[in-house]
Structure 1
Amino acid sequence: MDSIKVFAPATVANVTCGFDILGFAVENPGDEIILKTCKKPGVVIREIKGDEGRLSHAVEENTATISILNYLTHVERDIGLEVYLHKKMPFGSGLGSSAASSVAGVFAINQLMGQLLTTEELLKFALEGERVASGTGHADNVAPSLMGGFVLIRSYDPLDVIKINTPENLHAVIIHPNIEVNTKDARNILKKNVPIKSAIRQWGNVGGLIAGLTMNDFGLISRSMEDAIFEPVRSMLIPGFDQVKASALEAGALGCGISGSGPSIFALSTADGTARKIGTVMKDQFAQIGIESEIFVSKINQKGPVILD
């Protein structure tokens, strides 16, 4: 094999109560990458599409190629490689854009090299891409993009990641308003200390959400999708958030919250038709305050990255 094309999915991180520890993959949008071997040693970025010229072509500064470089160093392979990256999701959207590129890169190179490492072993290399993008290696986007499905990060030191079983008919709707929220800004506004009462409430919701997912208990999922700590602060960065969330719940959503650090908002439902109805009313709410938006509807993506023809 001398070339490969891979798709890696976008993700929803935090999932209301699971700040920095929960995330799930969706079927769309996502990023695509093409790797081609060449005779001249070294990794070079030949083309980046869909980034409006915002991404660096320096391989040490790009999330996709830094994960590839670290992988090649680890497996002690010195090859020539041309990289073509197609960004197919908006920047600063809260959908794990940098994570999808990093996962696409490391998954593709592992396939090209004959799958020298397991999926679990690839995670630390994908995290390097996140570290380049945001300064920290958070796994709540990277892990679900790489592993697929709904993922719990139980610990970062040592890294302990668990894939959670989810109901077959669980659907997600994501709406991305045409505004941008900087991840660092969204993290900097958070309070450094949390009241014990709020923390206990949050822990109960995390446990309830995981139990609801594994038990196929939609009532428990719905009751547990509450963020008592971070959403009240971060939602101030998203115009119309309260109205959009209320409209989603009225339209039948099990729960609704901020995707990652925003501005995208997600909701969960039990059917595709309900999810599309929820997306429509959320879009209408943004339109009423003059904000254009884009809707994505899908089941939970259980596969993670895939090889494209």
Structure 2
Amino acid sequence: MKPNEIKIFCPATIANISCGFDVLGVALDSVGDEMVVRKTSEKGIRITKLQGQDLPMETLKNVAGVAGLALLESSDSQYGFEIEIYKNIKAGSGIGSSAASSTGAVWAMNELLDKPFSTIELVKFAMEGERLASGVAHADNVAPALFGGFTLVRSYEPLDIIPIPSPEELFATVIHPQIEVKTSDSRKILKTNITLKDGIKQWGNVGGLVAGLYTNDYDLIGRSLEDHIVEPIRSILIPEFDKVKSEAIASGALGCGISGSGPSIFALSRREKIARKVADSMKEVYKNVGIDYEIHVSKINSSGIKILE
């Protein structure tokens, strides 16, 4: 007998990875939300519990509800769903809070319906939650949450997502200064045109990063973690960004940049020991200026969303 209820872990994610604005992302292993989704005989979707963050519970105002409805509209299911959300990822943190809720809802619903949809179809549904959250249906957070590991959105029309392997010793450090930067606001300040010179640099770095991940070339990964287009603009919104970045690299990080739209700052390191040293250096910067923060050190999550017992 198939279960009517499922409890899941929905990972936090780092989007953009410096050079890959809206196309690159990676799932984290040590931080994420939990959700309980149950199948009901009453059609539609209801958010029955939401703990950890002050977010709307109305279905059409909640990203999990909107993503779930997108799935139901493409399904011939006669069932409905109740969703409980336990938020450990703060909204506006830059590590995929809305993506965790959106992907968790559609992944769990798909499981309870005996998997009628492919992972790429689930990405499309989850993107509708992202559209509600930021005004843009981007996939750089939802893709790694669903596929696991690193992902490349090769194309949006048609949607084409490439899972990318992750070197065994790669760890992420993410520090979240306790300010909120809304994705919709951080998009408004971006330029809509770039120079050909900057474009060439960025394309080279995206190719270099993907090649480094495939070949376990940590030095190449580090050289490729450069952003000539978005970071110079968005970093203005993040207190002490330049100092945090320079200290992280001085402590051994391969590279450092803005996680998603910020204000979180991420660094990638080879080996957990270095990632924790990087965390200490980041913390020291914010301690010295009196800014509260949260910090996470995580290996790369290769499987994405997972069932909890």
Aligned length: 307
CA distance in 1, matches of 2:150, 2:174: 16
CA distance in 1, matches of 2:225, 2:216: 14
The structure-2 alpha-carbon separation of the partners of 1:184 and 1:38, relative to structure 1 and needing over 3 Å to count, comes to closer
For residue 99 of structure 1, report the CA deviation from its aligned partner: 0.7
| Counterpart code for 2:201 | R
CA distance in 2, matches of 1:204, 1:80: 47
CA distance in 1, matches of 2:173, 2:131: 28
What pairs with 1:47-66 in structure 2 (closer than 5 Å)?
47-51=49-53, 53=54, 55-66=55-66
Higher mean C-alpha displacement, 221-230 vs 240-249: 221-230
Q: Which residue does 1:287 correspond to in 2?
A: 287
What pairs with 1:239-250 in structure 2 (closer than 5 Å)?
239-250=239-250
- Confirm whether residue 183 of structure 1 aligns to residue 183 of structure 2: yes
For residue 42 of structure 1, report the CA deviation from its aligned partner: 3.0
Q: Which residue does 2:37 correspond to in 1?
A: 35
The structure-2 alpha-carbon separation of the partners of 1:182 and 1:80, relative to structure 1 and needing over 3 Å to count, comes to closer
For residue 28 of structure 1, report the CA deviation from its aligned partner: 2.7
CA distance in 1, matches of 2:247, 2:256: 10
Query: TM-score, normalization: structure 1?
Result: 0.96
| Counterpart code for 2:299 | K
| Counterpart code for 1:28 | S
Q: Could you list the runs of 4 or more consecutive aligned residues of structure 1 that deviate by over 6 angstroms after TM superposition?
A: none
For residue 67 of structure 1, report the CA deviation from its aligned partner: 1.7
For residue 78 of structure 1, report the CA deviation from its aligned partner: 2.4
The structure-2 alpha-carbon separation of the partners of 1:199 and 1:80, relative to structure 1 and needing over 3 Å to count, comes to closer
Q: Which residue does 1:19 correspond to in 2?
A: 21
CA distance in 2, matches of 1:110, 1:216: 34
For residue 39 of structure 1, report the CA deviation from its aligned partner: 4.0
CA deviations 1:92-138 (Å, max 9, x no partner) are 01111101100000001111111122222211111111111112110
| Structure 1 vs Structure 2 CA RMSD | 1.2
Higher mean C-alpha displacement, 112-121 vs 93-102: 112-121
Identity of aligned residues (%): 53
CA distance in 2, matches of 1:44, 1:97: 19
Question: Which residue, 10, 13, 23 being the options, matches 2:12?
Answer: 10
The structure-2 alpha-carbon separation of the partners of 1:42 and 1:230, relative to structure 1 and needing over 3 Å to count, comes to closer
Q: Which residue does 1:132 correspond to in 2?
A: 132
What pairs with 1:19-168 in structure 2 (closer than 5 Å)?
19-51=21-53, 53=54, 55-168=55-168
Q: Which residue does 1:251 correspond to in 2?
A: 251
The structure-2 alpha-carbon separation of the partners of 1:155 and 1:40, relative to structure 1 and needing over 3 Å to count, comes to closer
For residue 37 of structure 1, report the CA deviation from its aligned partner: 3.0
**2:8 match: secondary structure:** strand
Higher mean C-alpha displacement, 278-287 vs 182-191: 182-191
CA distance in 2, matches of 1:80, 1:251: 51
Q: Which residue does 2:206 correspond to in 1?
A: 206
**1:5 match: secondary structure:** strand
Give the conservation status (yes or no) of the 8 Å contact 1:72–1:78.
Answer: no
Give the conservation status (yes or no) of the 8 Å contact 1:42–1:78.
Answer: no
What pairs with 1:199-278 in structure 2 (closer than 5 Å)?
199-278=199-278
For residue 181 of structure 1, report the CA deviation from its aligned partner: 1.1
CA distance in 1, matches of 2:162, 2:239: 34
Give the conservation status (yes or no) of the 8 Å contact 2:251–2:274.
Answer: yes
**1:117 match: secondary structure:** coil
Query: TM-score, normalization: structure 2?
Result: 0.96
For residue 184 of structure 1, report the CA deviation from its aligned partner: 1.8
CA distance in 2, matches of 1:152, 1:47: 33
